[in-house]
């Protein structure tokens, strides 16, 4: 019995020793863990703080501030003069503006790279999305996005043009547009119409009044030229509160070169094609008091047969012919080059018409061998007919498609 207490004391002391030893080990481990967690000196061990500093750098915000006008969600936005993207404390590196169909809007950046504006007007009643990115001096970027919708106009206009898309026309054919409303902002409308040619040639526009705009090169088109016209009028403010609603591409081709010269003195017409004389035809022009215009005139309309009534051109009841064959219009005021079956021996001998150029024909126009039928069959819209040596003045450039009678330096003013 006397040995049990000693044995028990020995056991108890051993147990307490093991527990203390375990506590010392745990404490040391905790101390070590605390030191690894950053409790030690800065820069010591794997937790020297470099990872933490790197995280702070990654979270730094760019100083560049992007501003988009109009504000996000804006409606009834004007189609010009409103859209603008700017950057403060940085420079713009990307600006993308697209409509709902993904069509991009071209723009220009200021020299300093702080301002972007569209290079053209926007379409009406269209939603646009804007995405812009700017970079500050430290190379950090910031981005901004916005969306807005342009106005829906109450009053609109379109351009009625000629020649038609896909046609082949003569070398004198201008691209002529008549607008359904008078234009008081001609520069904006002109800017919205672009013309490209193949081969390239300078084409310039000229306004006749406030509702007609014609385009032509300095000289007649070169045969075979391909012309592409883009009418980007949708959204253009042609006059206060009146916007274009037309967006269309028109393509036409210039055919062979044909210029016919009518001499009112010799009563003959010489037809020149691609620089070579192909036909000389007897003709008659306006008699004294009804002289034919001088100048360069372009065929603008072709009619197998038409009615000609003097009352429609201010000549009262002097004539009313219901079946004039092979008629081709030269002016808006009523000048034609046409078949004439009632002129007797006037052709090649004297002038007998009321201002038109007449070529011998038969009633009904059935004989394809007569001069009028030959000329009609060998002509097209846009061919040139030049009249010289008449006793009348030169035809006005806006009387028909006859802008060739205006000097180039005046045309491009």
Residues annotated as catalytic (active site), given as ranges: 338, 356
| Residue among 207, 209, 213 nearest 178 (CA) | 213
Q: Where are the alpha helices (DSSP H) in 120-191?
A: 186-191
Angle at alpha carbon of residue 394, lines to 389 and 397, rounded to 5°: 145
Structure tokens that stand for 321 in this block = 């012919």
How do beta strands 155-157 and 242-244 pair? parallel
Looking up tokens 């007569």 gives 370
At 102, list the tokens. Answer: 């993904």
Nearest CA-CA partner of 124 in 95, 153, 104: 153
Contact 336, 329 (CB under 8 A): yes
Phi and psi at residue 369, to the nearest 5°:
-95, -15
Give every strand in the sheet of 155-157, ordered side by side.
Answer: 155-157, 242-244, 237-239
CA angle at residue 312 from 318 to 373, to 5 degrees? 80
Q: Let me know: does 128 contact 150? Beta carbons within 8 Å.
A: yes
Which of 134, 132, 135 shows the shortest CA–CA distance to 144?
A: 132
H/E run at residue 162: strand 159-162
State how far the alpha carbon of 38 is from the alpha carbons of 24, 31, 52, 187, 200, in Å: 22, 11, 11, 71, 75
> How far is the CA of 402 from the CAs of 78, 188, 218, 382, 394, in angstroms?
38, 25, 13, 10, 10
Task: Give φ, ψ of 340 to 5 degrees.
Answer: -135, 115
């Amino acid at each position: 019995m006397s040995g049990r207490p000693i044995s028990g004391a020995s056991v108890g002391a051993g147990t307490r020793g093991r527990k203390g030893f375990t506590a010392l080990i745990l404490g040391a481990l905790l101390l070590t863990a605390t030191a690894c967690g950053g409790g030690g000196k800065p820069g010591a061990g794997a937790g020297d703080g470099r990872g933490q500093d790197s995280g702070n750098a990654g979270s730094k915000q760019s100083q560049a501030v992007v501003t988009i006008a109009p504000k996000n969600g804006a409606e009834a936005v004007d189609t010009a003069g409103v859209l603008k993207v700017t950057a403060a404390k940085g420079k713009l590196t990307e600006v993308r503006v697209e409509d709902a169909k993904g069509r991009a809007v071209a723009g220009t950046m200021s020299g300093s790279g702080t301002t972007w504006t569209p290079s053209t007007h926007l379409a009406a009643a269209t939603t646009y999305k804007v995405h812009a990115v700017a970079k500050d001096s430290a190379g950090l970027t910031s981005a901004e996005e916005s969306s807005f919708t342009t106005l829906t106009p109450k009053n609109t206009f379109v351009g009625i043009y000629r020649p038609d898309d896909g046609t082949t026309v003569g070398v004198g054919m201008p691209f002529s547009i008549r607008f359904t409303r008078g234009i008081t902002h001609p520069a904006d409308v002109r800017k919205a119409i672009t013309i490209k040619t193949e081969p390239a040639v300078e084409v310039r526009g000229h306004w006749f009044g406030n509702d007609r705009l014609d385009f032509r090169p300095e000289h007649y088109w070169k045969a075979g030229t391909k012309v592409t016209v883009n009418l980007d009028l949708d959204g253009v403010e042609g006059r206060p509160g009146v916007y274009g609603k037309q967006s269309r591409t028109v393509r036409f081709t210039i055919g062979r070169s044909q210029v016919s010269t009518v001499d009112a003195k010799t009563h003959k017409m010489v037809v020149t094609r691609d620089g070579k004389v192909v036909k000389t035809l007897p003709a008659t022009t306006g008699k004294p008091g009804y002289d034919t215009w001088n100048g360069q005139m372009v065929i603008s309309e072709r009619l197998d047969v038409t009615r000609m009534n003097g009352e429609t051109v201010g000549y009262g009841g002097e004539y009313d012919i219901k079946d004039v064959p092979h008629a081709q219009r030269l002016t808006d005021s009523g000048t034609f080059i046409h078949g004439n079956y009632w002129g007797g021996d006037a052709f090649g001998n004297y002038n007998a018409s009321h201002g038109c150029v007449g070529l011998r024909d038969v009633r009904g126009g059935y004989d394809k061998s007569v001069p009028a039928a030959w000329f009609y069959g060998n002509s097209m819209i846009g061919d040139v007919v030049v009249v010289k040596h008449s006793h009348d003045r030169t035809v006005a450039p806006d009387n028909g498609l006859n802008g060739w009678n205006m000097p180039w330096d005046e045309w491009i003013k």
